[in-house]
Amino acid sequence: MASGGSGASGASGASRLFLVVFLAFALGAVLAWESFGSTLGPTFFYPAAGVTASAMMLSRRALWPAVIAAILVAEILVDTYFGSPPWVSIGFAAANMVEPIVGASLTLAWCAGKPDLRKRSDFAAFIAGACAAGPFFGALIGGTVSSNQALTPWLSTVVNWWAGDALGVLVVASPILLWSKQRDIVLARRLEALGVLAATSLLTIAAFWTEAPPSFLILPVLAWAALRLDMIGAAMAGAVAALLANIMATRGHGLFSTIDVSLPLRVALTQVFVAVVVVVSMLVAQEASGRLAAVRSGEADRRERKRLETLSRLAQQLSAALTPDDIGAALTEHVLNDAGAMSLALGLVTPDGDRLEWVTMAGFPPAVLAEFGDGVAISVPSVVTDAVRNGQPILVPSASDYLQRYRDNVHWLQISQTESVVGWPLTSGKRPIGTLLLGWSEAQPLNEAQLAYIAAVAALAGQALMRARAFVDEVADAAVLQSAVLPINSADTPGLQVYVTSEFADLGHSLAGDWYDVMALPGKRTYLAVGDVAGHGLPAIEDMAQVRSAGRALAHQGLPPARLLTEVNGFTRHVSHGKFATMAVVIADSDEGALSYCLAGHPVPLLRRAGTGEVIALADASGPVLGHKAQEGYADASLRVEKDDLLVMYTDGLVEHDGLAIEDGIARVRRAIADWDCSTPVAELCRELLESLAPSGGGELCILAVRFAEVR
């Protein structure tokens, strides 16, 4: 249902885009034929080029075929209506399809997305890509077709086509691209905008009718539009000026009417002139807008912007902080270094409520750290303790204010040369759980914006501390469950020397679901298993305990590996927290000198032959992960073992870490095992393997190694 709805929505969007582009392109093309001198050749002003270029820059690439289809249909219909031969219509359609594709693609690539013409770099990319490069490629095609049709010089025809389309893109696409970002400026000054457009119309007609220098009449009104209505005002006024200038030029009026060249060339020169004037006016608007913003943006605004940036980065880092130390480091980096505070302390109330102990203290001189580093008693009056007791921020804007309120411990302020101090309570619900202390070497205004920033920092820190407490409690519970589930002492395994080594996360990191199991079975058989449950934390440990216990119980009933994994798969699907698990099971039989095995999505165990040193991957009985589907098929595989053969089973933490692909990791383990000396104790071999191949930053993994010491 969702897929069908998405497809219908996409088709509807493409249909709407086709209709809009078709109507706008057809209107622009008809205007070009009727009003802009199409009988002269491709010199006419072509607003349709701006429609298609902006449509592609504003729509997803998946919708570009709708734009291309609209161009093709509209071009052929309009050209046929005005009597162009079919081959000419197809050639013009090809030119007008290639042009926006090239222009939009280059502009989007150079701008790394939709262009924002308010930015100087994006505007330059738009001019170079959409206004210059795109029309150039279109002109190569369209100019060639037009030259062959009208038997005109190829070069001049191509140049004329390029000038007309370039101007069309500039003055039509610019307002369209700017509308979503600057329409509020126009809507807020509707009457002034109408006045600018009316004045542009009158002055353009006057300039071209009287043959007066157009820049004297047109530039002032475009400057008015730029200064008062920003870039969108300059673009809209430029569109009006371009439209009327082309109409006047094709009728023999204007700046270049007295030059002894062909009319198409005079029109092309007019278009270049208008384009330059429009670009200049838009650059003036950019510059004026930037200067105005700089004037309005004082030091307070810059500080506020920096605070907001700091808050954003702080929120991101605190969201990933797992321990109080992580939280303290994040506050030190972003609040102390980025936001201009000189010193910072983060304290938590002890469980008995008698003291405030510091999570972090930064920016304080050694003497202050030596005196207060162990924390402070809640009963001692101070900025931080008052904030905890009252549950309200304590603001001290100057050292003199501090002296009046806390005369008995003002010496720390003097030692650290602190001028302004703020103590902000950290709360959980309505109960204060700690304090954030900030100090500055210069007097602070402590205005509304600054206090809002401190409140946000305190709120983020308080939430992060509560998450860290909950996380540490969960990890501790998970560690207790993990240690209770996983065997510490080796099982009595006749004929086998078994060694298990593992690495698990400390309380600062979330535990994963890696596990192992060794259990003696009747008839000198031994059940060996390793596994990994997806996820981290207490849910993963709970799932691990259930999966491991299920496998152990089924092995005790005498099930072979494949049947065992089939049953565990169904069990896992019903009892896990929606996660999957992997597992490798081996049943070793010392009397028979054989082992049988089966894998459920787990990395392959490796068997080293004592006689030859060959390392064999037990990969002939690999099945899907546990818990993914209710009915999965697993098959057993078996092989003979000899005395002193070594079997190594492990979890993926040994072979997939630090950007290492799992296949490469297995190959590393395989090479390491091949170099083993069979006379070396298994425990020592495993420790060497762990030291050489374990993750550099620590991680969850298990290694279960077995030497077949007695084989018949």
User: What is the average pLDDT across 689-697?
Assistant: 76
**Residue of 179, 305, 298 lying closest to 230 (CA atoms):** 179
DSSP track, 539-554: HHHHHHHHHHHHHHHH
Calculate Rg over the CA atoms of the chain.
39
| pLDDT level of residue 301 (50, 70, 90 thresholds) | low
Residue 479 has pLDDT above 60, yes or no: no
pLDDT at 586: 96
Distance CA 420, CA 247 (A): 69
pLDDT at 530: 93
Residue 256 has pLDDT above 80, yes or no: no
Residue 398 has pLDDT above 80, yes or no: yes
Residue type at position 617: A
* Helix H or strand E encompassing 584: strand 581-589
**Residue of 241, 129, 258 lying closest to 196 (CA atoms):** 241
| pLDDT level of residue 696 (50, 70, 90 thresholds) | low
User: What is the average pLDDT across 473-487?
Assistant: 49
Residues 590-638: tens digit of each pLDDT: 888 899 999 999 999 999 998 888 999 999 999 999 887 766 679 999 9
Residues 496-527: tens digit of each pLDDT: 888 888 775 444 444 667 888 898 898 889 99
Residue 167 has pLDDT above 70, yes or no: yes
Residues 130-150: tens digit of each pLDDT: 888 999 998 899 888 887 877
* Helix H or strand E encompassing 75: helix 64-81
Please determine whether the domains at 302-475 and 486-708 fall in the same fold group of CATH.
no
| Parallel, antiparallel or unpaired: strands 594-600 and 581-589 | antiparallel
pLDDT at 45: 62
Residue 593's region, left for phi above 0, alpha for psi from -120 to 50, else beta, is left
Higher pLDDT, 234 or 40: 234
User: What is the average pLDDT across 281-302?
Assistant: 65
Asked which of 64-68, 120-124, 198-202, 340-344 is least confident by mean pLDDT, the reply is 198-202
Residue 89 has pLDDT above 80, yes or no: yes
User: What is the average pLDDT across 577-589?
Assistant: 86
Share of the chain above pLDDT 90, in %: 12
Structural domain boundaries of the chain? Answer: 2-296, 302-475, 486-708
Asked if CATH classification 3.60.40.10 holds for the domain at 486-708, the reply, yes or no, is yes
Residue 382 has pLDDT above 80, yes or no: yes
Fold of 302-475: Beta-Lactamase (3.30.450)
Asked which of 381-395, 612-626, 695-709 is least confident by mean pLDDT, the reply is 695-709
pLDDT at 317: 77
Distance CA 411, CA 316 (A): 37
Q: List phi, psi (to 5°) of 186.
A: -70, -45
Rank 108-117, 222-231, 276-285, 425-434 by mean pLDDT and report only the highest: 108-117
Residue 383 has pLDDT above 80, yes or no: yes
Residue 439 has pLDDT above 70, yes or no: yes
